Amino acid sequence: MIGVGSVFVGNLSGAGPFVVAGEIHGDGDLTGDLNVAVGGGWMGNIRARRAIIAGHISGSLHVAEKLEIGHSAVIRGSVSARQVAIAKGAIVDGDIDVTSGDAIVQFEEKRGS
């Protein structure tokens, strides 16, 4: 966990799960799950198995399985995942590639509102 107010500078790799409530400046190669909390941020390119994003990402995000983008999320970069679900209000400034060919699922955020 990268806690609120913490800043990690450097590349990060590992199995996780990883929870980011602070900031990371560097690339991530994660074989497990990633959760970027509201107020959390990541500046760099990320690979993860599954991800839930509620904070900010500046860089590409490649998820092998399911990606959930919460209503408070701001992603500036390309996104790819097998499945993508985006809450109303989320911002993705970049291309979205759903590798399974399924449609992007849009939903109304219920938690944390």
Q: Where are the domains of the chain?
A: 7-107
pTM of the model: 0.92
Average pLDDT, 10 consecutive residues per value, the chain (113 residues): 91 93 97 96 97 97 97 97 96 95 86 56
- Give pLDDT, residue 112: 56
Q: Which tokens belong to 2?
A: 């990268």
pLDDT of residue 6: 92
What pLDDT is stored for residue 108 in this prediction? Answer: 87
